Amino acid sequence: MEQNLPKKYHIRTYGCQANHADSNTIAGVLEALDFEEMTDPIAENDDDALYKLLSETDLFIVNTCSVRQKSEDKVYGMGKMIKKVKTEKGRKPYMVMAGCMVGSVTGKRQRYAFEELKKKTPWVDYYINPTQILNIPEILHKNGVLSEWAMKKFDPSTATAKQSNPEHAFINISYGCDNFCTFCVVPYARGEEVSRSEEDIILEIRHLVLRGFKEFTLCGQNVNSWGLKTSEKFDVRTGSDQAHEIESVEKINFISSNPFDFTMDLIEAIKLPKISNYLHIAVQSGNNDVLKKMNRRHTIEEFIDLTKKIKKARPNVEFGTDIIVGFPGETEDQFNDTVELFRTVPFNVAFISIYSPRKGTPAERFYPDDIPLPEKKRRHADT
């Protein structure tokens, strides 16, 4: 392609808001490099849309999720369409895989061999884990996707995360996780927990306020442990309310929170008027024995007590949560404890997932996946 013609890119994102925030960062970097976004085209179905995108883009980035098998299967399923486009069009875009599927096979906490992922995704030209997204200019230049001219023109100071909503921005305040719940891939896929500096976060918020943003969602796998050293995380949890003091900020959300991270100072903080009225706190199960096998450091009694304290501090608060049904060894009585929890706590939103073993996690290694899929689906429907 001609050097003076902008190249087209598309990012397909799976998974949590942290992944969406990462995709926004990638998009901002690419547009500072003079790439133009190709948005989802009008099409009869997702396959037709994917075909058009693969046919017309120069750079295609798939930002992957590894939390559930279904999310990974969607990524593996793209291979057939990529092969079709290459056969019929004689070309395919430069394919980059990012996100948690890559993080799971790289870094210090590798869940399984990198070669295994490569064999399943031969259509990928380059793999980047979540810690490498700011290295995209160098990666693209090294692999001939970005010209020397564009590389020299690039000014990192002009690269700001692209937000889909002109008034609402997602901001990653920390990366990684050190909790090691037995079912979860995040500590492996995103590595050890690292917090961004308070100064960096506030500067980004102030910059976005000047661009007209009024609402902010602070993202992290565990936002309540922001700013703490590893040695402190299980002794005290805290945060910062400086964002609340910025005059033009109208609303602040934060995700995700764990029950064992809510201290009294955080409960006091949710009284602040700009804090969102919605709190998402993942409980995962209504039974203490299941929670112990999950390595969740809270009991159901502690969770219920927490919700009562939060309700007292902010009576009109709305609760959201995450639940896993069909965890290895979960009995009918233990499942019924989860059903009973819904009668005790007034959840407004609940994301209910069927357990699927994730390769390399403690649950996959030590607990047989002994509940038949039809029974898991029945429990999912009955929750």
- The predicted pLDDT at position 234 comes to 37
Written as one string, the DSSP assignment of 318-340 is EEEEEEEES-TT--HHHHHHHHH
* Predicted TM-score (pTM) of this structure: 0.84
What pLDDT, in 10s, does the model give residues 147-167? 888 888 787 766 778 888 889
**Cα separation, 121 vs 115, whole angstroms:** 10
Residue length of the chain: 383
What are 336's two structure tokens? 């019924």
Mean pLDDT of the chain: 88
In this model, does residue 168 exceed pLDDT 50?
A: yes
What's the whole-number mean pLDDT along residues 239-254?
A: 78
Domains and CATH numbers, the chain: 8-158 (3.40.50.12160), 168-382 (3.80.30.20)
What are 198's two structure tokens? 């308070």
How do strand 215-219 and strand 251-255 relate by DSSP bridges? Answer: parallel
- The predicted pLDDT at position 247 comes to 83
Which segments within the chain are labelled E, that is strand? 8-13, 36-37, 59-64, 94-99, 126-127, 168-172, 174-175, 194-195, 215-219, 251-255, 278-280, 318-325, 347-354
Whether the bond into 285 is cis, omega within 30 of 0: no
164 versus 29: the higher-pLDDT residue is: 29
Other CB atoms within 10 A of residue 130 CB: 22
- The predicted pLDDT at position 364 comes to 96
- The predicted pLDDT at position 118 comes to 97
In this model, does residue 255 exceed pLDDT 80?
A: no
What pLDDT, in 10s, does the model give residues 313-341? 999 999 999 999 999 999 999 999 999 99
What pLDDT, in 10s, does the model give residues 207-245? 889 889 999 988 876 544 444 454 444 333 334 467 788
What pLDDT, in 10s, does the model give residues 341-368? 999 998 999 999 999 999 999 999 999 9
The answer to whether the CB of 247 falls within 8 A of the CB of 241 is: no
Written as one string, the DSSP assignment of 27-91 is HHHHHHTT-EE-PPPP-SSHHHHHHHHHHH-SEEEEEE--SSHHHHHHHHTHHHHHHHHHHHHS-
What's the whole-number mean pLDDT along residues 44-70?
A: 93
State which amino acid sits at residue 238: T
